[in-house]
Amino acid sequence: MKKSDFIFSSIILLIFLPFVFSDSLYNEYQSFNAAHGMIMSFLKFALLSTMGELLGLRISSGKYYYPSFGVLPRALVWGFLGMGINMAFVVFSKGVPAFAEYLGVSDPTAVMAGPLCLKKIALAFAISVTMNCIFAPVFMTLHKITDTHILNTGGTLKGLFTPIPMGSILQNLNWQIQWNFVFKKTIPLFWFPAHTITFLLPEDLRVLFAALLGVALGVILAIAARKKH
């Protein structure tokens, strides 16, 4: 293990261990999370998903950081993306059961609120598939655009707030990787089952679990980068 690996692991432990050993701190977290869901979504994704990207960089390049990587801009973008993900969770977790009821499924909202059963798993899977087919491709493409913009502007906060040349970035994206790997493989093989688990969890745990999946996303993007090379 390199020194950088030890530092990275220590930071993770310092973030999570206080909540494990302090009931009062964990209760404060739960209370704030319940009252300020969007703020907590921003913070969870800004922290955890950025750490996932750092881990992905370690896998793909052997190091956690280089100057133009733009840790702070990425954290800021992830925070706002996290708020969008939280909104998508609310929209699809309420909308898909409503549509299922429209199609004739008996009381799907009560099923989702009840104990684990095959019908609940099927509904959670339906929510996951619907969200990942409609929301995920747009989200992933936007994320790729912001990543490219951050790199092109030197990884600075000032650069992040310069106008994004959407047309040229979209034109120069590696659509072979984006379509054949990110969309066609990661969405059905990883995100469908991962978000099925997400929607089986209590609502107050879904965003945290999704943010932790950002670590997995960092690993997936690292694999995609290796494929590109």
pLDDT at 91 over 70: yes
pLDDT at 197 over 90: yes
Q: Cα(157)–Cα(16) distance, rounded to whole angstroms?
A: 27
* CA dist list (Å): 151 to 83, 185, 187, 202, 220: 23, 25, 25, 37, 19
State the pLDDT confidence band at 223, using cuts at 50, 70 and 90: low
* CA dist list (Å): 59 to 53, 185, 221: 10, 20, 10
- Residue 170, both tokens: 């979209």
Under 8 Å between Cβ of 190 and 216: yes
pTM for this structure?
0.88
Q: Cα(157)–Cα(71) distance, rounded to whole angstroms?
A: 9
State the pLDDT confidence band at 200, using cuts at 50, 70 and 90: very high
User: Which strand (E) or helix (H) includes residue 156?
Assistant: none
Q: Which of 29-33, 64-68, 194-198 is most confident?
A: 194-198
Give pLDDT tens digits for 4-30.
788 888 888 888 888 778 888 888 888
Nearest CA among 52, 74, 62 for reference residue 148: 74
State the pLDDT confidence band at 226, using cuts at 50, 70 and 90: low
